[in-house]
Amino acid sequence: MNTYINNELWQEIFSNWIITGCAVRDKNIIYCCLRKDLPHEQMKDMWDSEIPSRLVALYLDTPDDPYGWKGLAGFARPIVGISHKPVSQGLLISRGLADSTVSVMGKGKWPLEHIIEGQGAGTANLRCIDGYTYAASVHRKIYKRADIGQWVSISHGIPTLSEEEWTLEKSIAEGFLDIDGFSEQDMYAVGGRGDVWRYNGERWSQCAFPSNEQINTVLCAPDGNVYIGGEGCSLWVGKEHTWTKVYQGNSTILWNQLRWFNNQVWLCSDYQLRVWDGKAMQYVMDGDKKVVFNGHMDAYDGILVIAGSYRVDRFDGQQWHSIVKSYS
C-alpha cells in the first residue's frame, strides 16, 4: 500500500510532531491538527498553550502540491473542524480558559476569530451541521459560526449561569462535550453525567436520560437514531426521552468520535476502532485481518479517515489507503 506523503514530505511536515485530530472537508481535502512532540521533562514545566501547534491540509487530488500548513502559537488543547458555509474551510480552535481563538485555513488569508472577544467560551468540540460550524461548550452553551468571524449563541431554553456558578463539580455533572444534528432544526448536545438536550430550531429542552454515567459523544445518524457514547466506551441509542444502552464496554476511557459510514456506526478511541452493525459491536475487518487503527476519526463525502499519533489512513468503503505514516 503506497503512502501519499513520502519520506521527504514527512520529514518536512510531520517529523517530531504528534497528530491529535482530523476533519474531512471533502473526499480530496483532509485537515489535521499537529502538536510539537516535546520531551516530557520539557513539557511538565509548560502551559499547554506554549506547545506549538500546526493546522495541516492534505490535498489528495493534487499530488504535485499535496499539502499546506500554518504554524500557530498560544493554542491550548486545540481541536480541528470544518465549515462549508459561508465558504468551505478548515478550522482550528484553541480551548484555552481565557480565550477561544479560531484559526481559519482556506484560499486567501484569514484573520484569527474569537467566539467571544476577550473571553473563554469553554469550547469542547466542533461539528458541521447543514454546512455551518457549531461549537459545543462545557458551560452548556452552543455557538454557531453564522458568518466569517461571527459566532452567535444558540442557547435559548438553557438556564444561564454566571462564571462563579460554574464550579468544577457542576462542570463534571453538566455541560456539553459534543453536538450533532439531523438538521439545524433538530440537534442534540450531550456531556456531563447524562446531560442530554435537544434543539427544535427555536429552543433547547432537556431530555430524560436514564443514567448519570459520563457521556461525551453524539451522532445523529441517517437511520433516524441518535447514538451516544459513554463510560467504558459504552453505546446508547434512542431519541428525546427514550434511550437504551445497547453495548457496555469495559475500557478505562471514552470514545473520541462516533461517525456514520457504510451504513454503520463507527466508533474510535485512543485504544480501538469498532463498528456497531445494529446488533453487535464488531471489529473492523480488512478481508480476514483486523484493522487495528485508533486515535481520532471523521467521515464525509464517501470517505472515512483515521488519524493516529503518527499516521493517517483513509477508507473509501472498499480499500484502506495510507496517507501519512512514520518513516523514523
Grid cell 489507503 in the structure block, residue: 321
Residue 304: beta bridge partners?
Answer: 299, 315
Distances (CA, A) of 178 to 33, 125, 280, 310: 18, 6, 24, 25
> What does the pLDDT average to over 103-111?
81
Residue 167 pLDDT > 90: no
Q: Is 269 within a domain? A: yes
- Assign 171 to helix, strand or coil: helix
Give the structural domain span for 319.
Answer: 7-324
DSSP label at 48? G
Write out the three cell numbers for 227.
Answer: 447514538
Residue 277 pLDDT > 80: yes
pLDDT band at 163 (very low <50, low <70, confident <90, very high): low
> What does the pLDDT average to over 209-216?
97
Position 31: which residue type? Answer: Y
Q: Is 32 within a domain? A: yes
Q: Is 2 within a domain? A: no
How confident is the model at residue 69, as a pLDDT? 93
Distance CA 98, CA 235 (A): 33
297-321 tens-digit pLDDT: 999 999 999 999 999 999 999 999 9
- The CATH code of the domain that includes 188 is 2.130.10.10
Residue 247 pLDDT > 70: yes
| Number of domains making up the chain | 1
pTM for this prediction: 0.95
Q: Which residues lie below 8 Å from residue 44, measured CB to CB, with a gap of 6+?
A: none
Write out the three cell numbers for 243.
Answer: 434511550
